């Protein structure tokens, strides 16, 4: 018998010793079934152990993880402060019996001749591909500048070398389009994301593991695909917040894990974006990443002209009104997209007589009035109640105000009776083929004005868009989050990029803060200008990329308890002998002070020292207090 330390999926930083027959041939990274209390768990071998009389026996060996994937999991465990057994259980698929064979597809597109910028970007990656070494490239190019075409050319070289490719996209909704393009070009490619059935997940995983699958396309979890011959990782729209996982653990950033995987595997990584994250651009400027740029749109189209107007208290400014009419009636590119980042009818309800406001019973959030169902809904926890007509406190009528997509739709229908309007948000659209219906509708003129939330800014390469109107650019700009400006800039740039793919388009941004730098630089399509300004702010206020950041979130149904625990954690942190090397902010109530009946307090930690925050937090990891939920997050993205 031999003895091994094995990580099992329990929320503690400790392994357990098991014994196994020599013939089982276990090594670091072997996936095994072990008895644990009354259950059987899937665990992973972490190393050999000293003999131990009470050790139970390993039941079965399932497989050996690729060694590099095993190493990556250990890095994720220590960097993101998540017990290894939990990282492994997140990575491993639901084990099944049957593996579906992967399909082959008809290759149909011919190669495009790259333009000189694409050629240059492509050539820069060539050496790293040929010689197979690690480098991270930041491919900076506006929408329509031909980034995908560059990826494809590099992918082609990687496939020629017999290696595999991981292609990450930020959201499940864009997978079908990328999948279609990849299959058309390479005759293969499979998807991986959490919405797949267990059978499909398992098939993808085993096909990648056995080297039968050469191209994996997926959302953030696919970064852990078990390829053992990986040659390239692509992270498209690398700035997207969707690459950050908050629940379940591990709380990782797939973009950052991709860069680490590239280093472990010794392979190139390409991060692509029209609006790179401040962190990535900073790394490129510093020379840590190789900077590649596609400064022009492929078809030579000009960037759309952007007009900023302050609509005051109106929903449509005069300029917007005029532009909508003009666009719908013009011959070329007669379609309009209107964007508002708020669904529902009215986001606030208030009694002006006594001050009562419609708030969620469980969360510290105002309820949104949805007219179609005549209900008030909490967009955080989903709590729903009938519309409140008379104030429960004083009986006067409650006023519903503010603008959501449903209300804009109603307004447009009243204002422009003859125009065909389609609303697109999570309340009106659910299934995949709805996207296709909308695309075709715009093409055929069955839809003239498309109105919607974020959904209209992503994925679809919509045709004939002569005008993009942003109804209210300020919804995110004043949030208490150090990334508020960055998000606003990214969002506006993306929406603006929807205009005029086929020629010259126009963008109108309505804002009550028309002089805010995020809005001004978005108007000028000036990423670098924005970056410089934002960089200054991050530097002086000490935020990433200039410091490492961690967040401790303390939640409890009892507010007193949450406060006490937060104070206790702070005291413990203050006792550290490294006290001079980090800053503690808080504890304070989170900007959203209560969600689903839990009071929320947080502490932010900043440090310039690598791994210090991890070490500090690891000492607190075993802290357990009944009725309290404590979570630790490294490089937090959500600050609310
Ligand atoms: P991005 O990914 O930067 O948005 P794409 O790679 O999707 O850009 O390219 C935008 C459009 O331009 C696509 O329809 C693509 O087929 C076309 N395209 C890209 N590169 C070229 C090229 N070198 N010559 C002609 N058309 C191109
Ligand atoms: Zn009242
Ligand atoms: Zn709620």
Q: Write the DSSP string, 135-159.
A: EEEEEEE-TTSSHHHHHHHHHHHHH
In this predicted structure, what is the pLDDT of residue 301?
A: 77
Q: Which of 92-101, 157-166, 254-263, 595-604 has the lowest mean pLDDT?
A: 92-101
For residue 259, what pLDDT band results from cuts at 50, 70 and 90? very high
What percent of the chain has pLDDT above 70?
98
Closest CA to 83 of 92, 93, 70, 74: 74
Q: Which of 294-298, 429-433, 522-526 has the lowest mean pLDDT?
A: 429-433
Measured from the CB, is residue 143 less than 6 Å from ligand 1?
yes
Is the bond leading into 392 cis (omega within 30 degrees of zero)? Answer: no
Sheet holding 421-424, edge to edge: 305-309, 506-510, 465-470, 335-339, 449-452, 421-424
Average pLDDT of span 396-406: 95
Measured from the CB, is residue 77 less than 6 Å from ligand 1?
no
Give the ligand at the shortest distance from the Cα of 397: 2
In this predicted structure, what is the pLDDT of residue 54?
A: 92
For residue 354, what pLDDT band results from cuts at 50, 70 and 90? very high
Residue 461 has pLDDT above 80, yes or no: no
In the beta sheet, which residues pair with residue 33? Answer: 42, 60
Give the ligand at the shortest distance from the Cα of 361: 3
For residue 330, what pLDDT band results from cuts at 50, 70 and 90? very high
Mutate to test the pocket of ligand 1, among 113, 141, 142, 149 (most ligand atoms within 8 A of CB): 149
Q: Give, in order, the Cα–Cα distances in Å from 242 to each of 92, 239, 251, 515, 521.
A: 21, 9, 12, 29, 24
Average pLDDT, the chain: 94
For ligand 1, atom 5, name the residue with the nearest CA.
146
> Comparing 479 with 389, which gets the higher pLDDT?
389
Measured from the CB, is residue 494 less than 6 Å from ligand 1?
no
At residue 150's C-alpha, the angle toward residues 149 and 153, to 5°, is 90
Quick one: angle between helices 254-265 and 67-79, nearest 10?
140
Instruction: Return the percent helix, strand and coil in the chain, to nearest 5.
Output: 35, 25, 40
Centre of ligand 1 to C-alpha 464, Å, is: 17
* 118 CA: nearest ligand 1 atom: 23
For residue 435, what pLDDT band results from cuts at 50, 70 and 90? confident
Average pLDDT of span 185-201: 95
Give Cα 340 distance to the centre of its chain: 20
For ligand 1, atom 23, name the residue with the nearest CA.
114
Q: Is 137 exposed, middle or buried (0-12, 13-18, 19+ CB in 10 A)?
A: buried
DSSP 103: P
Q: Which of 106-110, 333-337, 590-594, 627-631 has the lowest mean pLDDT?
A: 106-110
Average pLDDT of span 384-401: 96
Average pLDDT of span 119-141: 95
In this predicted structure, what is the pLDDT of residue 434?
A: 78
> Comparing 96 with 291, which gets the higher pLDDT?
291
Average pLDDT of span 183-212: 96
Centre of ligand 2 to C-alpha 358, Å, is: 11
Measured from the CB, is residue 144 less than 6 Å from ligand 1?
yes
In this predicted structure, what is the pLDDT of residue 174?
A: 87
Residue with structure tokens 């200039």?
546
Give the ligand at the shortest distance from the Cα of 391: 2
* 115 CA: nearest ligand 1 atom: 23
State the Cα–Cα distance between residues 560 and 565, nearest whole angstrom.
Answer: 9
For ligand 1, atom 14, name the residue with the nearest CA.
144
**What residues contact 74, with CB distance under 8 A and at least 6 apart?**
84, 87
Give Cα 380 distance to the centre of its chain: 17
- Our CA dihedral for 605, 608, 611, 616, rounded to 10 degrees, sits at -30
For residue 242, what pLDDT band results from cuts at 50, 70 and 90? very high
Residue 501 has pLDDT above 70, yes or no: no
Contact, 456 vs 612, CB < 8 A?
Answer: no
* 294 CA: nearest ligand 1 atom: 3
In this predicted structure, what is the pLDDT of residue 502?
A: 58
Listed in sequence order, the DSSP H helices in 353-394 are none
Average pLDDT of span 227-232: 97
Centre of ligand 1 to C-alpha 79, Å, is: 37
Q: Which residues are near ligand 2, the ion (C-beta closer than 5 Å)? A: 351, 353-354, 356, 391, 393-394
Tokens of 577: 């002998």
Q: Which of 106-110, 499-503, 524-528 has the lowest mean pLDDT?
A: 499-503
Strand pairing category for 290-294 and 135-141: parallel
**Hey, how many other C-beta atoms are within 10 angstroms of the C-beta on 208?**
27
Residue 464 has pLDDT above 90, yes or no: no
Euclidean distance between the first and final Cα of the chain, in Å? 52
Mutate to test the pocket of ligand 1, among 122, 140, 148, 458 (most ligand atoms within 8 A of CB): 148
State the Cα–Cα distance between residues 33 and 594, nearest whole angstrom.
Answer: 40
Residue 503 has pLDDT above 90, yes or no: no
Average pLDDT of span 515-529: 95
State the Cα–Cα distance between residues 505 and 366, nearest whole angstrom.
Answer: 37
Residue 195 has pLDDT above 90, yes or no: yes
In this predicted structure, what is the pLDDT of residue 2?
A: 96
Average pLDDT of span 62-87: 98
In this predicted structure, what is the pLDDT of residue 432?
A: 62
Centre of ligand 3 to C-alpha 594, Å, is: 8
Measured from the CB, is residue 497 less than 6 Å from ligand 1?
no
Measured from the CB, is residue 273 less than 6 Å from ligand 1?
no
State the Cα–Cα distance between residues 421 and 280, nearest whole angstrom.
Answer: 39
In this predicted structure, what is the pLDDT of residue 429?
A: 78
State the Cα–Cα distance between residues 454 and 421, nearest whole angstrom.
Answer: 17
In this predicted structure, what is the pLDDT of residue 437?
A: 86
Centre of ligand 2 to C-alpha 351, Å, is: 5
State the Cα–Cα distance between residues 372 and 406, nearest whole angstrom.
Answer: 8
> Comparing 96 with 598, which gets the higher pLDDT?
598
In this predicted structure, what is the pLDDT of residue 307?
A: 95
Average pLDDT of span 606-620: 97
For ligand 1, atom 25, name the residue with the nearest CA.
112
Residue 419 has pLDDT above 90, yes or no: yes
Phi, psi (deg, nearest 5) at residue 473: -80, -5
Centre of ligand 2 to C-alpha 394, Å, is: 4
Centre of ligand 3 to C-alpha 383, Å, is: 5
Centre of ligand 2 to C-alpha 598, Å, is: 26
Measured from the CB, is residue 301 less than 6 Å from ligand 1?
no
Centre of ligand 1 to C-alpha 114, Å, is: 9
Give the ligand at the shortest distance from the Cα of 376: 3
Measured from the CB, is residue 270 less than 6 Å from ligand 1?
no
Measured from the CB, is residue 147 less than 6 Å from ligand 1?
yes
Contact, 76 vs 251, CB < 8 A?
Answer: no
Tokens of 376: 């008030």
For residue 463, what pLDDT band results from cuts at 50, 70 and 90? confident
Q: Which of 11-20, 383-392, 431-440 has the lowest mean pLDDT?
A: 431-440
Centre of ligand 2 to C-alpha 589, Å, is: 27
In this predicted structure, what is the pLDDT of residue 431?
A: 61
In the beta sheet, which residues pair with residue 290? Answer: 137
Phi, psi (deg, nearest 5) at residue 235: -120, 100
State the Cα–Cα distance between residues 404 and 372, nearest whole angstrom.
Answer: 12
Residue 319 has pLDDT above 80, yes or no: yes
Closest CA to 265 of 139, 151, 136: 136
Contact, 16 vs 8, CB < 8 A?
Answer: yes
């Amino acid at each position: 018998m031999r003895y091994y330390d094995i990580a099992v999926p329990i929320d503690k930083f400790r392994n357990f010793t098991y014994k196994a027959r020599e013939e089982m041939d276990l090594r670091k990274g072997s996936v095994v079934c072990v008895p644990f209390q009354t259950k059987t768990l899937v665990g992973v071998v972490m190393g050999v152990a000293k003999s131990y009389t009470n050790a139970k026996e390993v039941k079965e060996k399932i497989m050996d993880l690729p060694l590099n994937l095993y190493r990556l999991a250990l890095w994720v465990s220590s960097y993101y402060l998540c017990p290894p057994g939990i990282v492994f259980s997140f990575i491993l698929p639901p084990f099944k019996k049957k593996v579906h064979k992967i399909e082959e597809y008809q290759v149909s597109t011919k190669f495009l001749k790259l333009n000189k910028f694409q050629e240059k970007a492509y050539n820069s990656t060539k050496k790293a591909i040929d010689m197979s070494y690690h480098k991270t490239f930041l491919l900076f190019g506006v929408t329509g500048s031909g980034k995908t075409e560059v990826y494809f050319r590099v992918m082609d070289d990687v496939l020629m070398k017999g290696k595999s490719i991981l292609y990450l996209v930020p959201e499940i909704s864009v997978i079908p389009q990328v999948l279609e393009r990849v299959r058309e070009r390479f005759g293969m490619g499979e998807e991986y994301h959490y919405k797949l059935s267990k059978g499909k997940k398992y098939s993808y995983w085993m096909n990648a593991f056995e080297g039968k699958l050469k191209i994996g396309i997926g959302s953030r979890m696919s970064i852990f695909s078990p390829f053992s011959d990986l040659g390239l990782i692509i992270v498209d729209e690398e700035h997207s917040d969707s690459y950050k996982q908050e629940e379940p653990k591990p709380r990782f950033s797939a973009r950052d894990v991709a860069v680490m995987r590239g280093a472990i595997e010794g392979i190139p990584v390409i991060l692509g974006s029209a609006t790179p994250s401040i962190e990535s651009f900073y790394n490129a400027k510093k020379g840590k990443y190789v900077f590649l740029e596609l400064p022009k749109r492929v078809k030579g189209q000009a960037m759309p002209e952007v007009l900023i107007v302050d609509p005051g208290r109106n929903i449509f400014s005069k300029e917007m009104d005029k532009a909508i009419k003009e666009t719908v009636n013009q011959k070329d590119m007669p379609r309009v997209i209107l964007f508002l980042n708020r669904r529902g009818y009215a986001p606030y309800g208030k009694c002006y007589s006594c001050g009562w406001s419609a708030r969620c019973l469980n969360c510290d959030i105002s309820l949104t009035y949805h007219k179609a169902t005549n209900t008030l809904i909490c967009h955080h926890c989903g709590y729903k109640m009938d519309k409140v007509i008379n104030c429960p406190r004083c009986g006067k009528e409650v006023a519903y105000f503010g603008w959501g997509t449903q209300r804009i739709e109603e307004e447009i229908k009243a204002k422009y009776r003859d125009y065909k309007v389609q609303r697109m948000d999570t309340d009106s659209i659910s299934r995949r083929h709805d996207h296709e219906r909308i695309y075709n509708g715009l093409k055929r003129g069955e839809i003239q004005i498309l109105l919607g939330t974020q959904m209209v800014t992503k994925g679809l390469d919509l045709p004939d868009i002569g005008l993009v109107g942003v109804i209210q650019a300020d919804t995110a700009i004043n949030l208490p989050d150090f990334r508020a400006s960055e998000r606003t800039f990214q969002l506006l740039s993306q929406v603006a990029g929807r205009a005029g793919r086929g020629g010259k388009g126009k963008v109108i941004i309505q804002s009550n803060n028309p002089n805010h730098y995020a809005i001004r630089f978005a108007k000028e399509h000036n990423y670098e200008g924005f970056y410089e300004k934002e960089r200054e702010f991050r530097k002086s206020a000490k935020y990433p990329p200039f410091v490492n950041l961690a967040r401790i979130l303390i939640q409890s149904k009892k507010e007193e308890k949450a406060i006490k625990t937060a104070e206790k954690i702070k005291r413990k942190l203050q006792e550290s002998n490294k006290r001079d090397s980090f800053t503690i902010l808080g504890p304070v109530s989170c900007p959203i002070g209560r969600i689903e009946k839990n009071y929320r307090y947080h502490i932010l930690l900043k440090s310039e020292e690598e791994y210090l925050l991890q070490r500090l937090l690891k000492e607190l990891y075993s802290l357990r207090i009944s009725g309290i939920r404590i979570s630790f997050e490294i490089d937090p993205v959500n600050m609310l």
